[in-house]
Amino acid sequence: MDILETVQPIETMLPDRYETMSIEEMEARVREIKEKLGAKLFIPGHHYQKDEVVQFSDSTGDSLQLAQVAARNKEAKYIVFCGVHFMAETADMLTTDEQIVILPDMRAGCSMADMADIEQTERAWKELQQLFGDTMLPLTYVNSTAAIKAFCGRNGGATVTSSNAKKMVKWAFTQKERILFLPDQHLGRNTAYDLGVPLEKMAVWDPHTDSLEYDGNMEDVQVILWKGHCSVHKNFTVKNIESVRRNHPDMNIIVHPECCYEVVTASDYAGSTKYIIDMIEKAPSGSKWAIGTEMNLVNRIIQQHPDKEIISLNPFMCPCLTMNRIDLPHLLWVLEATLRGEHVNVIEVDKKVTEEAVLALNRMLERV
């Protein structure tokens, strides 16, 4: 028999049958499979995931917590990652070769991570080296491709998350005079400003025109920000803040540092997803909050704190579309396939890329 005849075609898109199953049926089936696979299966879930998925997560966290959890887990054979593509890549790179990382829907990408590709980055680095020589250290937000993490790894740099960006930027300045911060200009600008770097010492690299946007003397540049952003957090504006201040003068405003500098400085508090959750958790009963972050999380926080008045900073905010691609039907589909011994939607990062990216990830994980 021809060997090819023995290979079963593997479905890459959600089979139709999941469209017609009831929610109860799907939930019962997921529960059953989790029970059958036991410790062989581990389901991490990011805080921005839908409730229908989060209810089955073995561990819920922000990107830092999920990276740490993935690095620690040595027993699960299957890691079904409920989050977006770059998070599943990170999990694959931090786990052993025997562990299999699965993303329930391969279309769950991240528009921010897509804003820096490796060719653009290599080109930028070359140009920037002409200007600044060997004075720069690259730092990348974990919201980036494995190839960008590898680029940082081989150039002495590291990854950061919104929870440890300050610590990592501080560390970077002990290594070199300047940093190149990819791909989120806002997290980079907000963090550097918080550490005392004035806006006048920050330049912006535009990967579409291959040019540096900066008006002053090149010698003064301390931070080069990649011109990328989060398409969710960019939707919080100073106008939203003015409206909350006008209509609810006693409300606290708390935002994620992926929001722009103007929004962060006009707010009362700014910090990572975990920081926002912890702040609301410890806030007194009856306190009032307008939150500027992803909507699945804001809705969950509202449900969990009926004793507090909580609204979204932007009343017309939607959840992150790519996070939302992971839903109950996709979760069930990959779990059923896993139980049958078929591996669909496996995330496997190239060996060489992994080696270099892990250098950047470990430089972060060692310091947090």
List, as residue ranges, the binding site for iminosuccinate: 46, 63, 141-143, 162, 256-258, 273
Quick one: tokens of 126? Answer: 């070359």
- Contact between 294 and ligand SF4 (CB under 6 A)? yes
- Tell me the C-alpha to C-alpha distance, in Å, between residue 154 and each of 118, 135, 169, 280, 357: 13, 15, 18, 39, 8
Give Dmax (Cα) for the chain: 76
Hey, which residues does 269 pair with through a beta bridge?
254
- Contact between 111 and ligand SF4 (CB under 6 A)? yes
Nearer to ligand 13P among residue 178 and residue 227 (C-beta): 227
- Contact between 323 and ligand SF4 (CB under 6 A)? yes
d(CA 54, CA 48): 9
- Contact between 146 and ligand SF4 (CB under 6 A)? no
- Contact between 90 and ligand 13P (CB under 6 A)? no
Quick one: tokens of 35? Answer: 């029970």
Which partner in ligand 13P, ligand SF4, none is near 111 (CB below 5 to 8 A by kind)?
Answer: ligand SF4
* Residue 337 CB, nearest approach to ligand SF4 (Å): 24
> What is the footprint of ligand 13P within residues 247-276 (CB under 6 A)?
258, 272-273
Which contiguous run of DSSP H or E holds residue 45?
A: strand 44-46
Question: Which position among 95, 145, 161, 296 is part of the footprint of ligand 13P (CB under 6 A)?
Answer: 161
- Binding letters toward ligand 13P, positions 119-148, x by CB under 6 A: ------------------------x-----
DSSP state of 223: E
Residue 267 phi/psi, 5° resolution? -85, 170
* Residue 116 CB, nearest approach to ligand SF4 (Å): 12
- Contact between 128 and ligand SF4 (CB under 6 A)? no
Cα 84 to chain centroid distance, Å, stands at 7
Quick one: tokens of 266? Answer: 């006009």
Nearer to ligand SF4 among residue 69 and residue 259 (C-beta): 259
Cα 289 to chain centroid distance, Å, stands at 24
CB atoms within 10 A of CB 118: 15
Residue 14, classed as helix, strand or coil, is coil
- Contact between 89 and ligand 13P (CB under 6 A)? no
* Residue 294 CB, nearest approach to ligand 13P (Å): 7
- Contact between 110 and ligand SF4 (CB under 6 A)? yes
- Contact between 232 and ligand SF4 (CB under 6 A)? yes
Could you tell me which residues come within 8 angstroms of residue 24 by beta carbon, excluding any fewer than 6 positions away? none
Q: Write down how long the chain is.
A: 368
* Residue 145 CB, nearest approach to ligand SF4 (Å): 12
* Residue 114 CB, nearest approach to ligand SF4 (Å): 9
Residues of the shown chain interacting with ligand SF4 in the complex, contacts defined by CB under 6 A: 48, 84, 110-112, 143, 230-232, 294, 320, 322-323
